[in-house]
Amino acid sequence: MRLIQRSARLFAICLSFLSAALIVSPAAAMRVSPMVVEMESQGSDAVARIEVQNTGPDTLPFETRIFRMEIDEDGKMTETPADDQFLVFPPQGALPPGGKQVLRLQWVGDPTPATSEAYYISVEQLPVTLAPGSDDAVAAKVQVLYNMRALAVVAPPGAKPEVSATSVRPIVYQPRPAEGQSEAPAPVEGVEVILTNQGRRHAMMSNFGWKIEGKDKSGQWLRVDVSPEELTTAVGTGYVPALGSRKFYLPISGFGPEPIKLTFQQ
């Protein structure tokens, strides 16, 4: 049988990856930028800056907290308090409506860590205590407090990632429920990808285009190109830890049981 070449692009990916991480409320009165910073443990790159903006109509008191983040192959995260690994200035403040504050983030942990380490910089809104008899005293009991997080990854100087696809296979999987969704979504036909990083530096794999090639269910050649923008929607940053693995799911249907090849494109 003569193979008929076909190609496809993945234009709409409905799966979102919360980890990676970053918690953002669509109605938030606080904005944090950038949401991801990559640092090194020595030199000028051991310092980063994060901007906090008050987009609401009221004064925004806030404080910062830092957590070490570890993530397993399935995307399950473990957080550990790690305020002693960074100096943050200012560590807290109060922003008027429309106000901005640049936070200076300096690494003071191990100057020669064995591998990259990932942290969440948590900017947490503080509750406001109103005086008794205030018109807003009742409303104060149901204050909505925002918590925005930026991902900071600190790498040893000169360390590099070494990522390869160790498994790519068609699968029917259960997507995670969207925020606020009570019922589990229906199973989705897609592709499971396991990426393994043998380097000492983390990797952000949604910075690349992914080219997925194989044969469809009828034995004809099939190629799907996934852009960095589409990957950001599907897998967030595509974070793969140093000397670790991550499993990702893409809602790409059509591949048959034969081997599937994944390559990365700049």
Q: Are strands 36-40 and 147-155 parallel, antiparallel or unpaired?
A: parallel
- Residue where one domain finishes, among candidates 155, 170, 185: 155
Domain count, the chain: 2
Residue 1 lies in a domain: no
What pLDDT, in 10s, does the model give residues 189-238? 999 999 999 999 999 999 999 999 999 999 999 999 999 999 999 999 99
For residues 122 and 124, what is the distance between their CA atoms, to the nearest angstrom?
6
Q: Give ∠ CA 170-175-179 in degrees, rounded to 5.
A: 160
Note whether 57 and 146 are same-domain residues.
yes
Q: For 59-75, give the secondary structure using H, E and C.
A: CEEEEEEEEEEEECCCC
Note whether 107 and 218 are same-domain residues.
no
What pLDDT, in 10s, does the model give residues 151-194? 999 999 999 999 999 999 999 998 877 766 778 888 999 999 99
Is 12 a residue whose pLDDT tops 80? no
- Beta carbons within 8 Å of 242's beta carbon, 6+ residues apart: 115, 116, 155, 159, 161, 197, 199, 200, 201, 202
The whole-number pLDDT of residue 130 equals: 56
- Give residue 234's domain range: 7-18+160-265
